[in-house]
Structure 1
């Protein structure tokens, strides 16, 4: 039995817009919470909240998994 399909984050769960998508793109670029906050003009604690919600929504346990999902979903041009 292959459980990979049930544990792999789905591109269907990607944020459709707003700050979530911007934060995901910046996480995918390897930015820290402080760098994302400076880029989007928001506090670091607000960024942490966005990142935590993204990880939960995408069923990712860390930023690297979210970044890989973002790249696999085509959020970054080749």
Structure 2
């Protein structure tokens, strides 16, 4: 199965204004309703508390692991499209 990851990045001057939450919701909606994906994945650094909170509300926590590439602890989340036409 291919993995489809949602991701976003904001300049620091936009942090704490709710844009991350709106972007994540919009990405999820678009990926499910327009792209008809079955499942989405999200990865976030454990230290990025704001993004952890966003993914906690929108997706399901799967695991924590050490990322050699990022050199820190990452958290993995998934969300299945329960409305996908079969």
Tell whether the structures are fold-level matches, with TM greater than 0.5. Answer: no
Higher normalized helix content (fraction of residues)? 1
Highest relative contact order (Cα 8 Å, sep 6+), 1 or 2?
1
Bin for the TM-score computed over the shorter chain: under 0.3
More strand by share: 2
